[in-house]
């Protein structure tokens, strides 16, 4: 009988059972590279985008390394948002069900801290949570974080964006100097470097670049607004789509709020997730989304990274993101696992340059528009630009030739003659270009 692909990591047999239960056929690229390093307790920096299997890449070896006989914290995982921490905790709970004697606890803000303290009569071996709450519990001596020998910092660049890196710094400083650290981040901004230099000496660096091509199970569509507004186009899309859950991403809270009001005015019930919501409001919205109260969810880029919503069949980019990393995070919300997904990007003429930058990263779109209640394929958005560049080049070429032919003394009617000669030369150049293209086609047949 052939071995399961995960067995070559020499993981605890109980975790192979957990992997089989998840129906994992083979490790992802990041799992292949990260699992052996964490088993060996290596300091590392892992850079990868969403949807790469990162959570299991560090959770499987962490649970493997935990000694069930030691009833003290052995590993800590911090995440920048409660939702991300909850998702990691859910994954960890599944794994520890298979390895007897291992306990994990979740500690996040927005919950009763006194209740958290009561639960710490028995210290968990695997701690998962947000840095502020874990710090609060450690400061009062309730949580023995100093016992942990491994710290995982997930979505480190988002920690920077949300102003949480100071809390992460305080937490890291509580660990023994022999503790090992793994930092995972989609990008490595300059503002993260001081932290990395302070705590990670000669770390292993693992980068998984999955931005070079479309995901096979996501269809990417590009729709021009043309003479319509983004709201009008979105309403037309809603008329023809029937998603399980569709996330509509906006670049700003103002655009998100405006779109929500327009959808509500049309009788379309939609959820809303952005950084301006209070923790209570966000928790209520997430509960309703998971209860399938909404078919459409309007979101800011917080949801593209900090929140995971299961069953997203469609993503609509109401605004084109100015940061290409955000485009990757947004479209990564759909087409998860074995499921198909659809990612639609609306764009206005002033956003064409951002579309070009996304295409330069290797994304390929099908250009479509809404016609008679269907998505119909149209010419690529950059065809007009390419044609214009060709025309500009041709005009410059024939102007130079015409000017060379008219270097003599300027006579009356010069401009009129020059214009006529320019048009003649243009016609000649077009004929020459056309013949050249025909010869190339015959040659390539």
Please answer whether residues 292 and 71 qualify as being in contact, where contact means their C-beta atoms are separated by less than 8 angstroms: no
Token representation of residue 244: 């399980």
| Residues in Cβ contact with 380 at an 8 Å cutoff, skipping those fewer than 6 apart | 367
| pLDDT score at 410 | 47
Among 277, 369, 302, CA closest to 161: 302
Handedness of CA 266, 268, 273, 278 (dihedral sign): positive
Cα 21 from chain centre: 27
E-strand stretches of 253-381: 270-273, 296-299, 314-317, 341-347, 366-371, 374-377
Question: What end-to-end distance do the CA atoms of the chain give, in Å?
Answer: 51
Please answer whether residues 123 and 71 qualify as being in contact, where contact means their C-beta atoms are separated by less than 8 angstroms: yes
Q: What is the DSSP letter of 6?
A: G
- Cα angle 317, 86, 194 (rounded to 5 degrees) comes to 80
| pLDDT score at 36 | 96
Residue 324 CB burial class (10 angstroms; 0-12, 13-18, ≥19):
middle
d(CA 311, CA 243): 9
CATH topology identical between 5-207 and 218-377: yes
| pLDDT score at 384 | 46
| pLDDT score at 444 | 53
| pLDDT score at 405 | 56
Domain parsing of the chain, residue ranges: 5-207, 218-377, 383-437
Cα 121 from chain centre: 39
Cα 331 from chain centre: 7
| pLDDT score at 34 | 96
d(CA 230, CA 246): 16
CA dihedral 75, 178, 198, 182 (to 10 degrees): -30
| pLDDT score at 63 | 97
Element holding 401 (H helix, E strand): helix 383-405
Of the candidate CATH numbers 3.20.20.10, 3.40.50.300, 3.20.20.70, 3.10.580.10, the domain formed by 218-377 belongs to: 3.40.50.300
| pLDDT score at 387 | 46
| Residues in Cβ contact with 444 at an 8 Å cutoff, skipping those fewer than 6 apart | none
Helix-strand-coil percent breakdown of the chain, rounded to 5? Answer: 45, 15, 35
Looking at the domain 5-207, which fold is it? Rossmann fold (3.40.50)
| pLDDT score at 435 | 63
Report residues of the chain scoring pLDDT below 50.
Answer: 211-212, 384, 386-391, 407-410
């Amino acid at each position: 009988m052939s071995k399961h692909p995960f067995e070559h990591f020499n993981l605890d047999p109980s975790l192979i059972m957990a992997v089989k239960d998840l129906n994992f056929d083979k490790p992802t690229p990041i799992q292949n590279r990260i699992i052996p390093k964490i088993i060996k307790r290596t300091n590392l920096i892992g850079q990868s985008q969403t949807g790469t299997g990162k959570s299991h890449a560090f959770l499987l070896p962490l649970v493997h390394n935990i000694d069930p006989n030691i009833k003290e914290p052995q590993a800590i995982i911090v995440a920048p948002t409660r939702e991300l921490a909850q998702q990691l905790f859910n994954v960890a709970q599944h794994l520890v069900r298979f390895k007897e004697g291992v306990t994990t606890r979740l500690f996040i803000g927005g919950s009763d801290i006194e209740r958290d303290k009561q639960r710490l009569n028995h210290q968990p071996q695997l701690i998962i949570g947000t840095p502020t709450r874990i710090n609060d519990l450690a400061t009062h001596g309730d949580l023995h974080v100093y016992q942990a020998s491994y710290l995982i910092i997930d979505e480190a660049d988002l920690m920077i964006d949300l102003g949480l890196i100071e809390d992460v710094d305080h937490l890291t400083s509580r660990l023994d100097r022999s503790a090992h650290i793994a930092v995972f981040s989609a990008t490595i901004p300059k503002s993260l470097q001081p932290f990395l230099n302070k705590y990670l000496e000669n770390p292993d660096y693992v980068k998984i670049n999955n931005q070079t091509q479309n995901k096979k199970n996501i269809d990417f569509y590009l729709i021009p607004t043309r003479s319509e507004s983004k709201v009008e186009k979105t309403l037309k899309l809603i008329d023809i789509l029937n998603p399980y859950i569709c996330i509509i991403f906006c670049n700003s809270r103002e655009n998100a709020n405006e779109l929500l009001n327009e959808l509500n005015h049309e009788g379309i019930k939609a959820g809303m997730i952005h950084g301006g919501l209070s923790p209570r409001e966000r928790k209520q919205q997430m509960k309703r989304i998971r209860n399938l109260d909404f078919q459409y969810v309007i979101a800011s880029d917080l949801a593209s990274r900090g929140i995971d919503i299961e069953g997203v069949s469609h993503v609509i980019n109401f605004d084109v993101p100015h940061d290409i990393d955000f485009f990757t995070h947004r479209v990564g919300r759909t087409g998860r696992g074995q499921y198909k997904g659809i990612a639609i990007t609306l764009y206005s003429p002033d956003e064409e340059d951002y579309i070009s930058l996304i295409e330069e990263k290797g994304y390929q779109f099908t250009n479509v528009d809404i016609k008679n209640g269907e998505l119909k394929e149209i010419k690529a958005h950059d065809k007009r630009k390419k044609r214009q560049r060709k025309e500009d080049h041709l005009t410059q070429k024939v102007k130079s030739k015409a000017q060379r032919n008219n270097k003599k003394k300027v006579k009356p009617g010069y401009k009129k003659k020059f214009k006529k000669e320019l048009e003649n030369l243009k016609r000649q150049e077009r004929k020459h270009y056309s013949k050249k293209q025909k010869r190339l086609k015959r040659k390539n047949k």
